[in-house]
Amino acid sequence: MKPLSNTGFALFGAALIAISYGLARFAFGLFVPPIRNDLGLAPDVIGVIGALPLLSFALASLVAPVTADRFGARNTTMLSGAFAVGGLALISQSTGPWMLGVGVFACGICTGLMMPALTAAMQVAVDRTMHGRVSSIMNAGTSIGVIVAVPTILFLSGAWRLAYGSFAVFALLGLALSRFLIPSVSRIVPSDAAPAPPISAMQWWRLLRLCSFAFAMGFVGAAYWVFAPDLAVTLGGLAPDETGWLWLAVGIAGLGGAVVSDLADRNNPPITHALMLVTLAASLALIAASPGQLAIAAFSALVFGLAYMSLTGLYLMTGIRLLPGRLSMGPVLPFLAVALGQAAGSPVVGVLVDQFGYSDAFAGFAAIGILVAIFSPLYPGHKDHFAAVEEDETGLQAAFDHQLQDEEGEPITGLTEGVEDEDGSEDEGGDGEESAVVTEQKS
């Protein structure tokens, strides 16, 4: 089959992200009310189950770069799809907490494997000058997947098994297409690229600060992702199908997150971080204050979606900038921290809901978010933290451009061509003139 164009790869990658992140991971909170009622699960049990896909995501993220290197982008993408199909199918047939837990755990593995696999494939399938734009489109797949899940709750109220069965079919289709559309190559590096320099003590210190903020944001955001629809139903008296409008608002607003994070890199990331974290905290307080007003609840979801996606985009960009030449670590570590924060926050908010109720639990998490925002001046994102960053060298594409440098320290932004694939064939990487070699990622 003819290799995908830059645009084609971006769209197909966004579709796979929509399945793995949107449907397999973040759609779970949308179906908590009917699942909890049908299976008779207490809030604290739901909190523990909600943490499982985040723990498995973290575990999978640790081995995903090595897996993509050893087995290739295509096989890793297909492995991710297989976990999605199995996990979603198990959820659709769940009869109790154990089966449900295994299903969501498998979905988390799918999520952890998918982005590293697509990043490896992007190295050979996409022009280097387009990596930032393609990455932004693929990241938007999370919001698209959340939006796609909405009609199932609007028109199949209570039929969560059928909804998850349909998600499994989507995942199976993505798995099948990946066999033909994703290159099997592991990773490519231009032959004139200099090796990544050793990670300095200052870089480790900045990474620690970045991951600490990412963990805290994930901890606070867990309350909304897992329990917001259940809050609106239990405390606000909304019908279960009406909570679909919340996730629609989250998805639509999340599409603007890439724009905000890109603007932040051009201005002052610490200020943007503080603003977005306070905004995220406000969304929790807003839905807890007026859960019975659908318009206000949907507005809180808009606020949450914009804040959450903006912050994750900002963490992605900062991670890439902090570790040039190490795509297996730079963007992975902050996302890993976010997932661990959510895994820690989900059972905590479940216990608080069980003990004190939704209003107090959400108010407490909102207060934590505001407290963390106060320390945002410590965020390691201002362009002054990076050597000689000019105004035209900001934004996601500029971050990708500085990933590979030649021996003189100049960015390598050309295309790759005629890269030999693992099966002995050649993948055409574009019309450029640079030679490239297939290598393993070293980090």
Q: Is residue 66, in this structure, part of any structural domain at all?
A: yes
- pLDDT value, residue 401: 55
Of 157, 290, 154, 285, whose CA–CA distance to 232 is shortest? 290
pLDDT digits (tens, 9 = 90+) for 218-263: 999 999 998 898 898 888 888 877 888 888 888 888 887 767 766 7
- pLDDT value, residue 12: 93
Query: What are the two backbone dihedrals, phi and then psi, of residue 40, each rounded to the nearest 5 degrees?
Result: 65, 45
354 close to 265: Cβ distance less than 8 angstroms: no
Q: Is residue 429, in this structure, part of any structural domain at all?
A: no
Which two three-digit tokens encode residue 173?
A: 């289709």
pLDDT digits (tens, 9 = 90+) for 47-97: 899 889 989 998 998 888 888 888 888 999 999 999 999 999 999 999 999
- pLDDT value, residue 25: 85
Q: Report the C-alpha gap between 103 and 152 in whole angstroms.
A: 19
Decide if pLDDT at 388 tops 50: no
What share of the chain in percent tops pLDDT 70?
Answer: 79
DSSP letter, residue 242:
G
- pLDDT value, residue 68: 84
- pLDDT value, residue 268: 80
- pLDDT value, residue 430: 39
Q: Is residue 177, in this structure, part of any structural domain at all?
A: yes
Question: How many domains, in total, are found in the chain?
Answer: 1
Query: What are the two backbone dihedrals, phi and then psi, of residue 190, each rounded to the nearest 5 degrees?
Result: -55, 145
Helices (H), 235-329: 244-254, 257-266, 269-289, 294-322
- pLDDT value, residue 443: 32
Instruction: Concatenate the DSSP letters of all residues of 100-145 into one string.
Output: HHHHHHHHHHHHHHHHHHHHHHHHHHS-GGGHHHHHHHHHTHHHHH
Give the structural domain span for 224: 6-401
Q: Report the C-alpha gap between 195 and 292 in whole angstroms.
A: 57
pLDDT digits (tens, 9 = 90+) for 394-417: 555 555 555 655 555 555 555 444
Q: Is residue 433, in this structure, part of any structural domain at all?
A: no
Q: Is residue 181, in this structure, part of any structural domain at all?
A: yes
Q: Is residue 409, in this structure, part of any structural domain at all?
A: no
Residue 128: CATH number of its domain: 1.20.1250.20
Q: Is residue 1, in this structure, part of any structural domain at all?
A: no
Q: Is residue 136, in this structure, part of any structural domain at all?
A: yes
Q: Report the C-alpha gap between 319 and 328 in whole angstroms.
A: 10
pLDDT digits (tens, 9 = 90+) for 124-146: 888 877 777 788 788 888 888 88
128 close to 413: Cβ distance less than 8 angstroms: yes
